[in-house]
Amino acid sequence: EAGVAQSPRYKIIEKRQSVAFWCNPISGHATLYWYQQILGQGPKLLIQFQNNGVVDDSQLPKDRFSAERLKGVDSTLKIQPAKLEDSAVYLCASSYTGRGGAFFGQGTRLTVV
């Protein structure tokens, strides 16, 4: 079974630039999550999709972050414009049901300089 795929693995951008991350969940997983993990902290949920609908985006900074999951499969997370404090690892995860252990991708390490 293929895991959750994310790209790119690493990204360095200047503040005020824009960046996009891509995620391909495990086939058949209806639930997809984007997490932000700042160094020394646990993952923090940004947004949860159920198929192509948003279930929870209460912690997504909507003035600069956006996410979509067209056709209920792949998803992209965008930051525009980036700030220094956005430096973090962005993790995508998917699960068959809303509860239980989700499967995580390797993450994208973003550095904003």
Is 28 a residue that touches other proteins (CB under 8 A)?
Answer: no
Show the site string, 57-76: x = touches other proteins by CB under 8 A, - = not: --------------------
- Min. distance of Cβ 27 from other proteins in angstroms? 17
Q: Which of residues 83-112 bind other proteins (CB under 8 A)?
A: 91, 93, 99-107
- Among the listed residues 32, 48, 65, 77, the single contact to other proteins using CB under 8 A: 48
- State both tokens at 71: 């056709």
Angstrom distance (rounded) from CA 29 to CA 12: 30
Could you tell me the two tokens for 53? 């609908």
43 lies in the site for other proteins, by CB under 8 A: yes
Please give the full DSSP string across 41-81, using - where no structure is assigned.
Answer: S--EEEEEEETTEEEE-TTS-TTTEEEE-GGGS-EEEEESS
Q: Which one of 45, 50, 66, 74 is in contact with other proteins (CB under 8 A)?
A: 45
Cα 88 to Cα 74: distance, rounded to the nearest angstrom: 21
**C-beta of 106: minimal distance to other proteins in Å?**
5
Which residues have a Cβ under 8 Å from the Cβ of 29 and sit 6 or more positions away? 94, 95, 96, 103
> Which residues in this chain contact other proteins in the complex, by CB under 8 A?
4, 33, 40-45, 48, 56, 91, 93, 99-107
